[in-house]
Every structure is written in C-alpha cells, then in structure tokens.
C-alpha cells in the first residue's frame, strides 16, 4: 500500500455565521451535529470519523482553516512528519492532540501556506454505514492554485499521493485508498477553494439531495452529471456564505494498475461537459464563488 494518508478526516472552516451554517449543514445538507467545544461546532457524516466538518467563527472573511488527513497509525504519522520536515515547509512535531477527538498528529503547511494536518488514533464513532440521503465522508477537496504543478509535486513527493489523472487544468490525486481522487489541484488565477465534496451513498441520494437543496433555495450551480476522471456523479451548489460544495457518489475504485490519463485523453467532444451530456454549463455564480474562499493564515499548529 502507498506510504500516504488514507483519507480526508475533516475540513475546518471559518464562517461569519456559524449557527446559520451549522443549521444548514445539519438540516439541509444532512450531516449530524456531534459536539461543540469552545466556539466550534462539529458535524459528522454516517462514516465513523468523529466529525468531517468543523465550523469556527471567522474573524475576517469566510475561509478554509485546515484540511485534516488521517493516517493508518502512529508510525505513518511519524514517517510523514519526517518527509514534511525534509521538505522545509512550516511544521510542528507530532504530539498527543488536545482536540475534541484527541489523537496523535501534527500540523504543517503546503508550499503555498495552506494549513494541513495528519492525525491517527483519533476518536471515532462505533457506527459506520452508508445511509440513503446522508453524506458518508469528505470525498475530496479541490484547490485552486496559481502554481498547481508545484503543489501537486508536494502532495506526491512528500505526502505519498499519486497523480491518477491530469485533465484540463486539474490534477486528480489518489492517496492510500482505492478512491480515484482524494485531492484535486486546479491551475487557476487565484489561491482559493475550488470546492469541497461530500460523498453520498449512491446516485439516488445525489439526486434527492439536489432536489432538497433546490427546495430550500439552493439551486444546482453545475450538474447533475458524471465526470470523466473518477467517473463520479456530481451536483454543485453554493452553501451558506456561498461556500462551493458538491454532492458526489460512485467514485471510481482503482489500484496501481490504473493507467494515468493526460489532458489529451480527457477531452470532451464539443458541447459536452460530462459523460451523460445532460448537464448545462456551470453558472456564472459557480465561477464567482470559486474566488471567495481563501485559507486562514498562520493556523497550522494543532
């Protein structure tokens, strides 16, 4: 198995109105609130992770505070820390964590200064199942990046990811998981969140979720459709404070025999944006909100 993390355990965001955001992610997006500590609100999916989303009050504009990766065990945390330290990016030593779900890990930044963390032995829920109409876990985080190749290299050479596909401006990165994609790095004119993707159990749940979002005043900004790389189905939305979010399902499961595809392989015929050929182009709003979410500075210490 690849010497890498095995999934995104959680994403931490800073919002102007955490209570409104928590109500949205609970009642409309269908996560479940699982705890509060200090000023943060924690929400889980139906997977075992203690939480997959942490909402903190923002002191500046709404932003992404941190992406937390999970390693299989303490030895993998230490191994990845050695690699990160050798890469000369800001980092702290692995230690026992005083967090709501405990664990052992360390914080660091990527070359662009975005706060990341690797943890193991954190507290999990006893139940773990895929439930209709409810997100199971974070499927992937897609980052807009002015130096996508440099960031891709960091994820590959330091954190053990591999590039499963390169399509258009986007690198699709696989970690120590059969999931085709856990991180996407997108060459773009700004350093912002492209979107945060939540895995639904099936296509039916993506479609029902899209209807529920629409009923609550959150129309589909792009989709539904089926992507090329990863073959997953998608529907994209602007959540509260216009955070770009996705419901996805049916993520392609791959192993090391999967053949890397370059941008020439992943060209769509004219007028087509997905496998089905049913989705309209993304809205102007979807393009705009991809510039909104930067990354909180100086927050890498856990």
Binding site for Fe ion (CB under 5 A): 197, 246
Q: How many angstroms separate the CA atoms of 53 and 48, rounded? A: 13
Query: In terms of CB distance, is 25 or 172 closer to Fe ion?
Result: 172
Q: Which two tokens stand for residue 186?
A: 């997108």
Taking the complex as a whole, the smallest distance from the CB of residue 246 to Fe ion amounts, in Å, to 5
Q: What is the dihedral of CA 122, 25, 67, 95, to 10 degrees?
A: -30
Q: How many angstroms separate the CA atoms of 268 and 224, rounded? A: 16
Closest residue by beta carbon to Fe ion: 197
Query: In terms of CB distance, is 174 or 197 closer to Fe ion?
Result: 197
Query: In terms of CB distance, is 124 or 187 closer to Fe ion?
Result: 187
CA 208 to the chain's CA centroid? 21
Taking the complex as a whole, the smallest distance from the CB of residue 294 to Fe ion amounts, in Å, to 19
Which residue carries 């937390």 as its tokens? 68
Query: In terms of CB distance, is 105 or 230 closer to Fe ion?
Result: 230
Query: In terms of CB distance, is 144 or 197 closer to Fe ion?
Result: 197
Taking the complex as a whole, the smallest distance from the CB of residue 142 to Fe ion amounts, in Å, to 5
Taking the complex as a whole, the smallest distance from the CB of residue 129 to Fe ion amounts, in Å, to 23
Taking the complex as a whole, the smallest distance from the CB of residue 25 to Fe ion amounts, in Å, to 17
SS3 199: strand
Is 139 within 8 Å of 199 (Cβ atoms)? yes
Q: Which two tokens stand for residue 63?
A: 């932003």
Which residue carries 């290299």 as its tokens? 153
Is 61 within 8 Å of 3 (Cβ atoms)? no
Q: How many angstroms separate the CA atoms of 152 and 17, rounded? A: 33
Taking the complex as a whole, the smallest distance from the CB of residue 195 to Fe ion amounts, in Å, to 6
Q: Which two tokens stand for residue 293?
A: 């979410």
Query: In terms of CB distance, is 197 or 235 closer to Fe ion?
Result: 197
């Amino acid at each position: 198995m690849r010497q890498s993390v095995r999934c995104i355990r959680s994403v931490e965001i800073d919002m102007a109105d955490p209570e409104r955001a928590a109500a949205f992610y609970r009642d409309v997006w269908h996560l479940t609130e699982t705890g509060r500590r200090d000023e943060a609100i924690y929400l889980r999916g139906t997977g075992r992770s203690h939480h997959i989303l942490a909402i903190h009050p923002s002191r500046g504009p709404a932003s992404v505070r941190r992406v937390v990766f999970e390693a299989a065990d303490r030895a993998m945390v230490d191994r990845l820390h050695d690699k990160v330290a050798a890469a000369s990016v800001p980092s702290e030593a692995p230690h026992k964590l005083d967090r709501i779900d405990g664990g052992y890990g360390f914080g660091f930044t990527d070359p662009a200064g975005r706060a990341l963390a690797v943890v193991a032995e954190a507290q999990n829920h006893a139940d773990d199942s895929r439930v209709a109409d409810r997100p199971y876990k974070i499927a992937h985080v897609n980052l807009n990046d002015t130096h996508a190749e440099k960031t891709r290299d960091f994820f590959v050479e330091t954190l053990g990811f591999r590039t499963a596909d390169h399509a258009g401006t986007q690198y699709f990165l696989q970690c120590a998981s059969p999931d085709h994609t856990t991180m996407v790095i997108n060459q773009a004119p700004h350093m912002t969140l492209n979107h945060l993707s939540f895995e639904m159990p099936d296509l039916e749940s993506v479609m029902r979720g899209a209807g529920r979002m629409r009923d609550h005043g959150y129309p589909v900004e792009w989709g539904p459709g089926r992507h090329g790389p990863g073959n997953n189905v998608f529907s994209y939305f602007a959540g509260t404070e216009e955070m770009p979010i996705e419901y996805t399902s049916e993520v392609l499961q791959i192993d090391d025999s999967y053949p890397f595809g370059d941008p020439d392989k992943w060209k769509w015929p004219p007028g087509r944006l997905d496998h089905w050929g049913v989705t309209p182009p993304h809205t102007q709003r979807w393009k705009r909100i991809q510039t909104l979410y930067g990354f909180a500075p100086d927050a890498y210490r856990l």
